[in-house]
């Protein structure tokens, strides 16, 4: 077994055992939200981190996943698990359409159109009351369950069970992201991020590889929307709001853009910090902004770069005496 896999397996084993050690409802809710934001931030990082496009409409794919899950289970009576696949695919199809329109554009044009796309969807959701129920949204969305022989074998109304659903989604997301990053497509995406013209000169089609990353990111955003809808049991127009978009960007900036582990670190830190700052409601956004500013000033490549900084100074285990003072 590769020595690089041992820490990952140990971390996964610890995550699996966590509910057996800490059983508090509040703690489990916090861990579920960390896992949820890990999937959501990782989906955006595929686009922002690897093809270098700042998509401000990524929350729209999350919202599509939320509403697809709600409408399929409440209005159409579909299985929650079938709705999961459809939610991801619906977001991926929307990602293909929007990507086909926007990925040929440069710079601020791409940013503005993706932002406009999310706002248009929010307005559609608010005003198309016959389908989306308007501002009221979809309350009482059913929780997942596993039924065998007509009997409920596993009921996911328990936070512990929901935790394991979120953990499976995180493992699938990070595995797929790892496969993408360390494939020819991932290397081509990084080349496009660094220098699109140079990448095109050596035979890499920026539009094609950007489309692959864009659709992949949209798919996992849709899956996170499915999870959020069934965990919170309510979906409203706020899922298209800019709050989710800002949260994703901050998590990527704090953890580390263009890395696999960065969004995981960012999701854990930001989720916990936001929860702990609820007591300071008046100054919470100011403290939040200060945290982001300090992180960018001192760790411009994110907290994932801390081991490299310490290793260069000889302060990291195994660094020896090669570090500089």
pLDDT digits (tens, 9 = 90+) for 95-153: 999 999 888 887 788 888 888 999 999 999 999 989 999 999 999 998 877 766 555 56
pLDDT exceeds cutoff 80 at 234: yes
CA distance 267 to 273: 10
What per-residue confidence (pLDDT) applies to 322? Answer: 45
Q: Please, which residues have CB within 8 angstroms of residue 240's CB and are 6 or more apart in sequence?
A: 59, 60, 63, 118, 119, 121, 122, 125
Q: Is the pLDDT of residue 232 over 50?
A: yes
The tokens describing 130, both together, are 């016959």
User: Is pLDDT of 321 > 90?
Assistant: no
**Domain spanning 26-312, CATH class:** mainly alpha
pLDDT of residue 298: 81
Residues 6+ away with beta carbon under 8 Å from 172: none
The reply to whether the predicted model has a pTM over 0.95 is: no
- Contact between residue 180 and residue 266 where contact means Cβ atoms under 8 Å apart: no
Distance of alpha carbon 54 from the chain centroid: 14
Query: SS3 for 155?
Result: strand
Task: Give the Cα separation of 130 and 57 in Å (integer).
Answer: 25
What residues are paired with 152 via a beta bridge? 147
pLDDT at 82 over 80: yes
- Neighbouring residues of 171: CB distance < 8 A, sequence distance ≥ 6: 12
pLDDT of residue 156: 67
Do β-strands 234-235 and 151-155 pair in parallel, antiparallel, or remain unpaired?
unpaired
Give the rounded distance of the alpha carbon of 83 from its chain centre: 19
Of 35, 29, 30, nearest in space to 11 by CA: 35
- In this structure, the number of other CB atoms found within 10 A of the CB of residue 53 comes to 23
- Three-class secondary structure of residue 53 per DSSP: coil
Task: Identify the pLDDT of residue 123.
Answer: 93
On whether the CB atoms of residues 141 and 234 are closer than 8 A, the answer is yes
Domain parsing of the chain, residue ranges: 26-312
Of 23-27, 62-66, 204-208, 236-240, which range is least confident?
A: 23-27
Task: For residues 168 and 78, give the distance between their C-alpha atoms in angstroms, rounded to a whole number.
Answer: 22
Tell me the pLDDT tens digit for each residue of 241-293: 888 888 898 899 888 888 898 999 999 998 888 887 777 666 766 777 777 78
Burial class (CB in 10 A: 0-12, 13-18, 19+), 297: exposed
Residue 227 — very low, low, confident or very high, per pLDDT cuts 50/70/90?
A: very high
Contact 110, 221 (CB under 8 A): no
Please state the φ and ψ torsions of residue 160, each to the nearest 5 degrees. -65, -45
Per-residue pLDDT at 222: 96
C-alpha 184/C-alpha 17 separation (Å) is 35
Work out the mean pLDDT of the chain and round it to a whole number.
85
How far, CA to CA in Å, does 8 sit from each of 2, 3, 320? 11, 10, 24
| HSE (side-chain half, CA atoms, 13 Å) at 325 | 0
């Amino acid at each position: 077994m590769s020595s690089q896999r041992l820490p990952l397996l140990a971390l996964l084993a610890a995550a699996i055992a966590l509910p057996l050690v800490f059983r508090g409802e509040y703690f489990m809710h916090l861990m579920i939200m960390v896992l949820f934001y890990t999937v959501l931030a990782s989906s955006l990082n595929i686009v922002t981190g690897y093809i270098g496009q700042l998509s401000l409409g990524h929350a729209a794919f999350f919202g599509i996943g939320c509403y697809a899950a709600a409408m399929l289970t409440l209005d159409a009576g579909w299985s929650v698990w079938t709705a999961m696949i459809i939610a991801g695919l619906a977001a991926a199809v929307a990602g293909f359409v929007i990507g086909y329109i926007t990925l040929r554009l440069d710079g601020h044009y791409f940013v503005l159109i993706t932002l406009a796309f999310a706002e248009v969807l929010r307005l559609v959701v608010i005003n198309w009351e016959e389908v989306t129920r308007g501002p009221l949204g979809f309350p009482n969305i059913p929780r997942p369950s596993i039924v065998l022989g007509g009997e409920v074998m596993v009921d996911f109304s328990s936070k512990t069970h929901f935790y394991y659903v979120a953990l499976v989604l995180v493992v699938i997301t990070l595995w797929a992201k790892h496969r993408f990053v360390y494939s020819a497509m991932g290397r081509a995406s990084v080349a496009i991020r660094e220098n699109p013209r140079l990448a095109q000169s050596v035979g890499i089609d920026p539009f094609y590889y950007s489309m692959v990353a864009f659709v992949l990111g949209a798919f996992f955003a849709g899956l996170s929307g499915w999870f959020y809808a069934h965990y919170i049991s309510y979906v409203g127009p706020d899922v298209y709001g800019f709050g989710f978009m800002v949260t994703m960007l901050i998590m990527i900036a704090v953890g580390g853009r263009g890395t696999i582990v960065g969004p995981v670190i960012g999701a854990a830190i930001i989720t916990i910090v936001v929860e702990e700052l609820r007591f300071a409601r008046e100054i919470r956004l100011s403290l939040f902004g200060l945290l982001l500013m300090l992180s960018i000033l001192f760790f411009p490549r994110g907290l994932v770069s801390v081991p490299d900084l310490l290793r260069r100074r000889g302060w990291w285990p195994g660094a020896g005496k090669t570090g500089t003072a």
